[in-house]
Amino acid sequence: MSTPSWRRAVLKVGSALIAPDGNGCSAKYLLAIARFITQCREKGIDIVLVSSGSVAAGRSHFDFSHQNLPVPLKKAMAAVGQNEMMSNWSRFFDFPCAQVLLTHGDLGDRERYVSIKNTLDALLDNQILPIVNENDTVATDALRVGDNDNLAAMVATVVDADTLLICSDVDGLYDKDPTVFDDARRLPVVEEIDDSIFALAGPPRNAIATGGMRTKVEAAEKASSHGIDTYIVNGRDGDTFEQLLRGDNPGTLFCRHHSPLSNRKHWLRHTLKAQGAVVVDDGAAAALLEGGASLLSTGVTDVEGDFERGDAIIVKDGDKALAKGICQYSSWELNYLKGRHAGTINDEVGPDHPDEVIHRDNLMILEENYS
């Protein structure tokens, strides 16, 4: 009997599986998933679990009649529900579990990113199951990942996983909506994620979930570009996990890139949120795309948004996004320096200022032909 070839996998389980009625944790679908995790560990496969469900788990402790929950109430539900969700998982295992709560701000800061990696590696080295969730209690809009599909992809890159398993309530990605069309066909393998693949992903069908098929495809794009095979599978079907353990594909496999991005380039492109943008002239655009150059102030023609030193920004040629990088100047400084020759910066704003607006080492080309 064949077995999975994975060395380390991230398994994402959504709220619709943890709390199928939207009000408290349930073991209905989790027994098969927990058995799968245990069997993977017995085969020497490292597993990191990314689990939603804290808000749904905490709902039963609050008296509310309105459908649109205020943000503070959702955060309070997450605070009490996170403990229940962890307890619910822990009862299925005879090995220790660790709670890891993250925000986008944690992953977007390079020093904290490395710290998270070291912590997760230490947990796995000591046979402890990390259970990761977004820290909804403290996260603001600016610091939120927003859905655990994309969080799982980010975690997969942090721990250098070779496989990402996203459990859904459908069998995978279809060529049309299977709830509407009887002749809808599941796509067993997707070699490349392009606009046609994103067009197949519709809005979420389950009111409990924060994502939908689109966020799963986004997650697959993030993971595959880092050399990680990604599966979307049906977590409600216990046979799904038996097939995975046999080395079979019960859902949709998004194939890893054969020339993946480096860890730092992937972090720049897929983890950092852009806080603004600069528009550059044709000469600067050519220097970035063809010459492998840093971005200098002389090529900047316009500044968009309000950002600080160290923020990620988009570099644009007109309306087209060319690159993304870490800016060494704030937006108000660049509004003053744009178009000026790099050699005069110290004369303009004082000594010890870098010549580069974005250094090449902190720049990620977005255009496909140059990535």
pLDDT tens per residue across span 74-116: 888 889 989 999 999 999 999 999 999 998 888 888 889 889 9
Return the pLDDT at 340: 80
Mean pLDDT of 23-35: 87
**Rounded CA Rg of the chain:** 22
**CB within 8 A of 109, min separation 6: which ones?**
none
Q: Which residue has the tokens 């927990």?
A: 34
Does the structure show a pLDDT above 80 at 302?
A: yes
Return the pLDDT at 349: 59
Lowest mean pLDDT among 16-20, 202-206, 327-331: 202-206
Mean pLDDT of 320-324: 91
Does the structure show a pLDDT above 90 at 15?
A: no
Return the pLDDT at 342: 63
Does the structure show a pLDDT above 90 at 1?
A: no
Higher pLDDT, residue 280 or 345? 280
Name the token pair of 345.
């910066």
C-alpha span between 306 and 327 (Å, rounded):
12
Per the CB < 8 A criterion, the answer to whether 193 and 129 are in contact is no
Starting from the edge strand earliest in sequence, which strands make up the sheet with 300-305, in order? 300-305, 274-280, 312-317, 320-326, 363-365
Per the CB < 8 A criterion, the answer to whether 23 and 56 are in contact is yes
Per the CB < 8 A criterion, the answer to whether 188 and 163 are in contact is no
Lowest mean pLDDT among 126-130, 286-290, 344-348: 344-348
Lowest mean pLDDT among 130-134, 180-184, 366-370: 366-370
Per the CB < 8 A criterion, the answer to whether 109 and 268 are in contact is no
Q: What is the pTM of this model?
A: 0.77
Across all residues in the chain, what is the average pLDDT? 86
C-alpha span between 116 and 130 (Å, rounded):
11
Return the pLDDT at 67: 67
- Kindly report the backbone phi and psi dihedral angles of residue 139, in degrees, each rounded to the nearest multiple of 5, phi listed first: -70, 135
C-alpha span between 369 and 371 (Å, rounded):
6
Return the pLDDT at 69: 76
Strand partners, 315: 278, 323
User: Which of the four pLDDT bands, split at 50, 70 and 90, describes residue 265?
Assistant: confident
Return the pLDDT at 232: 97
The amino acid present at 63, given as its one-letter code, is D
Does the structure show a pLDDT above 80 at 371?
A: no
Predicted confidence (pLDDT) per residue in 49-80, tens digit = 999 888 888 888 887 766 677 888 888 888 99
For the chain, give the percent of residues with pLDDT over 90.
50
Q: How far is CA 200 from the centre of its chain?
A: 20
Nearest-10 crossing angle of helices 71-90, 30-42: 50
- Name the CA dihedral angle for 361, 122, 98, 215, rounded to a multiple of 10 degrees: 30
Return the pLDDT at 66: 65
Name the token pair of 287.
């220097």
Q: How far is CA 73 from the centre of its chain?
A: 25
C-alpha span between 322 and 60 (Å, rounded):
48
Return the pLDDT at 55: 85
